[in-house]
Copies of this chain bind each other. A is one copy, B any other.
Amino acid sequence: MQHTRIQLAQDDIPKQYYNIQADLPEALPPVIHPGTGQPIGPDDLAPLFPMELIGQEVSQERFIDIPDEVRDVYSMWRPTPLIRAVRLEKALDTPAKIYYKYEGTSPAGSHKPNTAVPQAYYNKVAGIKKLTTETGAGQWGSALSFACQLMGIDLEVYMVKASYNQKPYRRSMIQTWGGQVFPSPSDRTQAGRNVLSISPDSPGSLGIAISEAVELAATREDTKYALGSVLNHVLMHQTVIGEEVKRGFEIIGDEPDILVACVGGGSNFGGFTFPFLADKMNGKSDMRVVAVEPTAAPSLTKGQYVYDFGDTAQTTPLMKMYTLGHSFIPAPIHAGGLRYHGMAPLVCHLYDLGFIEAVAVTQTKVFEAAVLFARTEGIVPAPEPSHAIRVAIDEALRCKESGEAKTICFDLCGHGHFDMAAYDAHLSGSLEDYQYPETEVGKALSLLPKVG
């Protein structure tokens, strides 16, 4: 029998998060207060996050212990499978070895609980009774609802109204796990009421939903806010993925030549690749590390590395990142996720320093790869990791031409059970490709406040 799954034991669930900030050859550019133009400090963040997470955000410690209670929850689905894609290799007739780490076995069906659980935990131990957050289609909202239920914390999710009405299934999941969901804009916040007074039929946006969630956290004593990507501590929590991948390759005595992961906000990519990047930064490894984004939202490949707001409504501090401008709105024909205008500052810094590559792919090619993967490996992948599958396949086909037997590993960060409408669109031929025009980036960025 072919042993295609590399078996980890429960004791292989990581005991510490890896903090890449300890190994950066140059420190991360500071986050800037838009009013003062000065770096923000812990007090600026204290209304929104518990002090432990603020400490993790700026920590220079290489490893941070994972609390036992968080590891106990991780053990509900971790270690996740590391699988050799022998059927895909055969279909491609490639000498390359292709592996994938599958994060879709979590209760929420994605990698998001890896950070939702510790965020809920650190809030609980800080005495917080309620979290607020925003969600688009509901993947992050459902993961946080799961985590808050286990930690005994209440949750209010502000869900973009158009998704609330059109994509009810993740909304029902949030509710099944006990979270409250409100269509945004709502009449529960000043930010929401302001929008509704001007535009009563507003379909909402992630920017508006962030403003609502942040307003509530900032104005209530027992309530904080949680974010599902972009921030340093979020990416650090996700390093449990990459640490398990390293352990899996140790067991089989191999090592990846190429790592591939999709990027939207950057947490999946960071969590999967950062544990491998220490060796690359100190010159011990020449592994290629590839970030894959959609041509419809190409922040790394078409954006500029400048200070920008994290949200459309300009309520967050300024972060240095590759950005398309915070006014960016994805084209309606873009089916998958990965819709953020910017990118996690840590990912941008590593890209700027040349330790990682980036490539943008079109969605018809992405769904072709997704269907080939489903038909060979069985799992129906979410559209987001299918961007990584596309590039992994392209690299394997290059190996076929060159005759090289490279080892390629990608992160399959979630299943596609809630994305079948996008598959239907692809299979019926109604998906179209879209390249975000580079000329729009300059226009959007010319309006930004200048920093540094």
Please determine whether B10 and A9 come into contact, CB atoms closer than 8 angstroms.
no
Smallest CB separation, A71 vs chain B (Å):
5
Contact of A10 among B1, B107, B427 (CB under 8 A): B1
Q: Chain B residues near A5 (CB, 8 Å)?
A: 10, 75-76
Contact of A107 among B2, B173, B380 (CB under 8 A): B380
Q: Chain B residues near A171 (CB, 8 Å)?
A: 424
**Nearest neighbor of A105 in chain B, beta-carbon distance:** B105
Please determine whether B107 and A420 come into contact, CB atoms closer than 8 angstroms.
no
Of the stretches A47-55, A175-183, A236-244, A328-336, the one at the interface is: A175-183
Smallest CB separation, A326 vs chain B (Å):
33
Expressed in whole angstroms, the Cα–Cα distance for A176 and B380 within the complex equals 8
- A: interface residue count bin: 35 or more
Expressed in whole angstroms, the Cα–Cα distance for A169 and B1 within the complex equals 33
Interface string of A131-163 (1 = CB under 8 A from B): 000000000000000100110000000000000
Of the stretches A221-229, A263-271, A337-345, A369-377, the one at the interface is: A369-377
Contact of A380 among B10, B173, B424 (CB under 8 A): B173
Q: Is A249 an interface residue (CB 8 A)?
A: no
- Whether A375 contacts B178 in the complex (CB less than 8 A), given A5-B10, A420-B172, A420-B173, comes out as yes
- Whether A72 contacts B173 in the complex (CB less than 8 A), given A378-B146, A378-B150, A417-B418, comes out as no
Most buried by B among A5, A150, A380: A380
Expressed in whole angstroms, the Cα–Cα distance for A177 and B379 within the complex equals 10
Of residues 85 to 110 in A, which have CB atoms within 8 Å of B's CB atoms? 87, 105-107, 109
Q: Is A4 an interface residue (CB 8 A)?
A: yes
Of residues 395 to 422 in A, which have CB atoms within 8 Å of B's CB atoms? 417-418, 420-421
Q: Is A327 an interface residue (CB 8 A)?
A: no
Expressed in whole angstroms, the Cα–Cα distance for A175 and B176 within the complex equals 29
Expressed in whole angstroms, the Cα–Cα distance for A7 and B81 within the complex equals 13
Contact of A75 among B2, B75, B374 (CB under 8 A): B2
Please determine whether A76 and B4 come into contact, CB atoms closer than 8 angstroms.
yes
Contact of A427 among B83, B107, B176 (CB under 8 A): B176
Q: Is A63 an interface residue (CB 8 A)?
A: no
Expressed in whole angstroms, the Cα–Cα distance for A371 and B174 within the complex equals 11
Please determine whether A7 and B9 come into contact, CB atoms closer than 8 angstroms.
yes
Expressed in whole angstroms, the Cα–Cα distance for A71 and B3 within the complex equals 11
Please determine whether B371 and A176 come into contact, CB atoms closer than 8 angstroms.
yes
Contact of A149 among B83, B106, B176, B375 (CB under 8 A): B375
Smallest CB separation, A180 vs chain B (Å):
11
Q: Is A26 an interface residue (CB 8 A)?
A: no
Q: Chain B residues near A37 (CB, 8 Å)?
A: none
Expressed in whole angstroms, the Cα–Cα distance for A2 and B380 within the complex equals 31
Q: Chain B residues near A105 (CB, 8 Å)?
A: 105
Expressed in whole angstroms, the Cα–Cα distance for A264 and B144 within the complex equals 34
Please determine whether A72 and B2 come into contact, CB atoms closer than 8 angstroms.
yes
Contact of A4 among B2, B75, B150, B378 (CB under 8 A): B75
**Nearest neighbor of A107 in chain B, beta-carbon distance:** B378
Please determine whether B77 and A423 come into contact, CB atoms closer than 8 angstroms.
no
Smallest CB separation, A77 vs chain B (Å):
7
- Whether A423 contacts B176 in the complex (CB less than 8 A), given A378-B150, A417-B418, comes out as yes
Contact of A1 among B72, B146, B150 (CB under 8 A): B72
Please determine whether A374 and B176 come into contact, CB atoms closer than 8 angstroms.
yes
Expressed in whole angstroms, the Cα–Cα distance for A359 and B437 within the complex equals 63
**Nearest neighbor of A417 in chain B, beta-carbon distance:** B417
Q: Chain B residues near A1 (CB, 8 Å)?
A: 10-11, 13, 68, 71-72, 75
Expressed in whole angstroms, the Cα–Cα distance for A322 and B13 within the complex equals 48
List chain A positions with a Cβ less than 8 A from chain B: 1-5, 7, 9-11, 13, 68, 71-72, 75-77, 83, 87, 105-107, 109, 146, 149-150, 168-173, 175-178, 371, 374-375, 377-380, 417-418, 420-421, 423-424, 427
**Which 6 residue pairs are nearest across A and B when measured between Cβ atoms?**
A107-B378, A169-B420, A417-B417, A172-B420, A172-B424, A172-B423
